[in-house]
A and B are shown apart, each in its own frame.
Chain A
Amino acid sequence: MPQLEVRNLTKRYGKTVAVDDLSFAVEAGRVTGFLGPNGAGKTTTMRALLGLLRPTRGEALVEGSSPLAMTDPLRTIGAALEATAFHPGRSGRNHLRTLAAAARIPRSRVEAVLEMVELSGAADRRVKGYSLGMRQRLALAAALLGEPRILILDEPANGLDPQGMRWLRDLLRAQAAEGRTVLISSHLLSEVAQTADELVMIRGGKLVAQTTLAEFTAGGGSQIRVRASRLDALEAALVDAGAAIGRDGAEALLVSGLAGEQIGELALARGIAIHELATQQRSLEERFFELMGDEETGGS
C-alpha cells in the first residue's frame, strides 16, 4: 500500500483548475521530489493530502484512507507548508509547545526538535525577528515534532543557505533511511536532484512524468556539437537525413538523432570540412526545462 496516494484528484477554484485529474503514489523509505513550475498545483495537492482542502473530484489518501480519518495525525504526518505561517508575536518554543500540547507530545520532544534544527538559542525570541531560514527550520521542527511516519514539505529549501541545504538533505536522507516517507516539493530540479530517489513532475495541474531519479538521469540523451566549413549546407543535408538540429551560437550546430559516423560521412560526401565533432550529454536541468516548458522562473 502506498503511503500517500492521489487518485484522479481535481481541484477547481471557480473557473481555474488548480489540479486536473492527477494520480500518483508515494512509497515509504525514499525521498520523493514533487516538481513543477510555480502555480503547477503542488501546494494544492499537498493540502489535499493533509485534509486541508476538499477535492472537487477524486481523492487524496494517507496510508490508504482519508486524511480526515487519521487517529493520531501528528504522529502520522508532519508537514511544513509555508515559512510564514506563525504568529509573529509568539516565540518559536511556544509555537512548538502549542502543537505538542494538541497531540500530547512531551515537552522534552520540543527541546529535542529545537536542538535538531539548531534553533535552541533563538527559541525564546518572537518569530517576528526570525530570518526566512530560521522560519524554515522552525517549520521543519514542527513537522518533525511527532516523529511522523510521513513528511510533507512544501519548498523546504527556500531561504536556506548552502550549508542549510546540505543539512536538510542529510536529514531527509536519514528520515527515508529509517523507512519513513518523504515528499518534498520544489520548482527547481537542482534543489532535489541530490536528495530525491523518485520524481513526480506536474505542470498545469497534470502529471508530466513519474520516474526514478536514476531513470531520469539515464534517459538524458545526447547531442553532437558540430562546427564545419559550410554550416548551412551541412545543416540542410542533416535535416534531409532526419536529424533534429539546434544552433549553438552562429558557428555551431547541435545535432540529435544521428550518430557521429553518419554526420562525418554526410559531410565528406558533400565536400564539407568538419572542424569539430563533439558528443555532449544534455544536463538534467535542460531536460527538466524541456518537460516543464518555458514557465520556469524563480520566486514563489
Chain B
Amino acid sequence: MNFLHSEWLKLWTTRTTWVMLGIGLLGEALFAGLYTGLAALGEVEHELVEAEIATGIGLLMVLMLVLGVLVVTTEFRHGTSSSTFLASPKRYPALLAKVAASLLVGLLSGLAFVAINAGLSLSLVAGRGGELPAAGELVSIYAGVVASFAILAAFGLGVGAIVRNQVGAIIAAIAFFFVLSPLPELLPGSLGEYFPAQALGSLHGHVEASGALNQVTGGLVLTAWAAALVAIGIALICKRDVAD
C-alpha cells in the first residue's frame, strides 16, 4: 500500500494527469451535449446515446493508453527511476503499485465518463422526447467503458515498461489499436477477433461482426493482452540496469 500511495502522489503532483483528464472529460461533455442535443431524432432514437458513446469514447481511450505509458516512461525520461527503485530495490513491488495506480485512474476516468454521459446524453435525449436504451443494455455498455479504460491504462503501462522510451512507447501503444487494427481481419477464421483492437470492440458491445467475441470474452482477452505486456515489462525492468 505504501508504494501505491507513492505512485498515486506521483500521478497527481504534476500537471500531466490533470491536463489529460481535464481535456478528455471536457471534450466528452462538449461532444455529448452537442451531439445528443442537436442530432436529428430519427426512427432509431435510442441508438443516439450508443452512437454518442461510441464516438465520444475515442479521445479518452487514447488518453488512457498514453497515461499508462507515461506512468513508467516518465521515470526513465527524468531519471526519477533511480530514486523509485532505491525505495524498492527488488523493483517489482513499485511496478505493481504503478499497475494498480493506472487501473485506478482508468476506473475513475471511466466512472467520470459515465457520469457525464448519463448526466448529459441521457437527459438531453429524454428531454427531447427521444427513446432511451433499455436499462440492462445501458449498464452493460457503461460497464464495458469503465473496464476498457482501466485495461487500456494497464496496457499502456505494459508497452511503456517494455519500450521505456516515451515517444516510442506512445507510438507503439497507439499503433497496436488504431493503426494495425485492420490487419487481423485479414487472418483466416476468427483468429483476428483475439487481437487487442477487436477484443476492445467486443468489450464495448460492438458485436455486430460475425464471429466476434461476446462482451465478457472480449474483456478477458483484452485483459490477457494487458497482463502479458505488463508481465514482460516488469520482468525486463527487473532484469535490466537502471542506467539513469
Co-assembled chains A and B: yes
**Which residues of chain A have a CB within 8 Å of any CB of chain B?**
47, 50-54, 67-70, 73-74, 77, 79, 81-82, 84-91, 94, 97-99, 101-104, 142
Q: Are A87 and B74 in contact (CB under 8 A)?
A: yes
| Interface residue tally on B, bucketed by range | 20 to 34
Cα separation A102 to B1 with both chains bound (whole Å): 9
**Can you name the residue of chain B whose Cβ is closest to the Cβ of A89?**
B14
Contacts of A54 in B (CB 8 A): 239, 241
A-B contact count, CB below 8 Å? 88
**Can you name the residue of chain A whose Cβ is closest to the Cβ of B1?**
A104
Cα separation A54 to B88 with both chains bound (whole Å): 15
Q: A87-B14, A94-B9, A98-B6 are in contact. Are A77 and B80 (CB under 8 A)?
A: no
Contacts of A103 in B (CB 8 A): 2, 87
Q: Are A52 and B242 in contact (CB under 8 A)?
A: yes
* Residue of A73, A74, A98, A99 with most chain B CB atoms under a 10 A cut-off: A98
Cα separation A111 to B88 with both chains bound (whole Å): 23
Q: What are 27 A-B pairs at a CB distance below 8 A?
A: A51-B86, A51-B89, A52-B82, A52-B86, A52-B241, A52-B242, A53-B241, A70-B89, A73-B88, A79-B86, A81-B82, A82-B82, A85-B82, A85-B244, A86-B80, A87-B10, A87-B74, A87-B78, A87-B80, A89-B14, A90-B10, A91-B13, A94-B9, A101-B5, A102-B5, A102-B84, A142-B83
The smallest C-beta distance from A132 to any residue of chain B, in angstroms, reads 15
Q: Are A50 and B86 in contact (CB under 8 A)?
A: yes
The smallest C-beta distance from A167 to any residue of chain B, in angstroms, reads 22
**Can you name the residue of chain B whose Cβ is closest to the Cβ of A84?**
B79
**Can you name the residue of chain A whose Cβ is closest to the Cβ of B75?**
A87
Q: Are A86 and B241 in contact (CB under 8 A)?
A: no
CB of B194 closer than 8 Å to a CB of A: no
Residues 209-244 of B contacting A (Cβ, < 8 Å): 239, 241-244
0/1 interface trace, chain B 89-103, chain A, CB 8 Å (1 if under): 110001000000000
Q: A74-B86, A89-B16, A142-B83 are in contact. Are A98 and B243 (CB under 8 A)?
A: no
Q: A51-B85, A85-B79, A103-B87 are in contact. Are A97 and B13 (CB under 8 A)?
A: yes
**Can you name the residue of chain A whose Cβ is closest to the Cβ of B8?**
A101
Q: A73-B87, A103-B87, A104-B2 are in contact. Are A85 and B78 (CB under 8 A)?
A: yes
CB of B3 closer than 8 Å to a CB of A: yes
Closest 3 CB pairs of A and B: A85-B79, A53-B241, A102-B6
Q: Are A99 and B89 in contact (CB under 8 A)?
A: no
Cα separation A94 to B85 with both chains bound (whole Å): 17
Residues 51-99 of B contacting A (Cβ, < 8 Å): 74, 78-80, 82-90, 94
Q: Are B87 and A90 in contact (CB under 8 A)?
A: no
Contacts of A94 in B (CB 8 A): 9, 13
Residues 1-33 of B contacting A (Cβ, < 8 Å): 2-3, 5-6, 9-10, 13-16
Cα separation A85 to B242 with both chains bound (whole Å): 12
The smallest C-beta distance from B10 to any residue of chain A, in angstroms, reads 5
Q: Within the complex, which residue of B13, B79, B82, B241 is in contact with A98, where a contact is CB–CB below 8 Å?
A: B13
Contacts of B88 in A (CB 8 A): 73, 102
Contacts of A104 in B (CB 8 A): 2
Cα separation A51 to B79 with both chains bound (whole Å): 15
The smallest C-beta distance from A125 to any residue of chain B, in angstroms, reads 13
Q: Are A89 and B87 in contact (CB under 8 A)?
A: no
The smallest C-beta distance from A99 to any residue of chain B, in angstroms, reads 6
Q: Are B79 and A53 in contact (CB under 8 A)?
A: no
Cα separation A52 to B94 with both chains bound (whole Å): 14
Contacts of A82 in B (CB 8 A): 79, 82, 244
Q: A99-B83, A101-B6, A102-B94 are in contact. Are A86 and B89 (CB under 8 A)?
A: no
Cα separation A102 to B9 with both chains bound (whole Å): 10
The smallest C-beta distance from A145 to any residue of chain B, in angstroms, reads 10
